[in-house]
Amino acid sequence: MLSKSIETLLNQQIKIEAESSQIYLSMACWADTHGLDGIAQFMYTQSDEERTHMLKLVRYVNERGGHAQITELKAPKTMFNAFQEMFEELYKHEVFVSESINNLVHETLSEKDYATHNFLQWYVSEQIEEEAQAKTILDKVNMIGDDKGGLYLFDRDIQQLPVMNALNFNAK
């Protein structure tokens, strides 16, 4: 059984994961309208992954006797001056999500909620991968700078990136 405080924090994380999905979806739309097909496909895939993260939390909260709350979301940014700006924001957002997960894990230990602590370890590992991937992509983007040929190659190559996740919806 979840404590009310842990249930509240998990519901806040559900909202963060939903907003993450929306952020990636908005980035995909921007890339799509700027002829960046590879980046768009990458962002669509990431959006789906974030929604899966949200659904895992929803199911966990409900299965543990809580009530997952689906709330209004903050609208994501829809316009970017350049693809570099978009990837900088993506990296900053992943750092924010990691901090949120870490705070949630800390609270589960404070309350001796070892079941939720154990459940959240998957998210801790996932965020390590997400941050590393975002940082690697940002480093490559910064190397490209304003080189149109480099952007063309990057847009093509990003489609080949292995998606670092476990999109197993039924995993608990």
pLDDT in tens, 105-133: 999 999 999 999 999 999 999 999 999 99
Annotated binding-site ranges for Fe cation = 17, 50, 53, 94, 127
Distance separating the N- and C-terminal Cα atoms of the chain = 16
Q: Is residue 120 part of a domain?
A: yes
Least confident of 53-57, 71-75, 162-166: 162-166
- b/e map 104-137, b = 16+ CB within 10 Å: bbebbeeeebeebbebbeebeebbeebeebbeeb
- With respect to residue 32, please indicate whether it lies within any of the assigned structural domains: yes
Asked if residue 143 belongs to a domain, the reply is yes
Domain that holds residue 49: 4-160
Tens digits of residue pLDDT in 73-83: 999 999 999 99
Residues at the binding site are 17, 50, 53, 94, 127
- Residue 118 lies inside a defined structural domain of this protein: yes
CATH number, domain of 141, equals 1.20.1260.10
- Closest to 44 measured CA to CA, from 67, 72, 25, 59: 25
Number of folded domains that form the chain? 1
Q: Nearest Cα to 97, choosing from 38, 70, 57, 60? A: 57
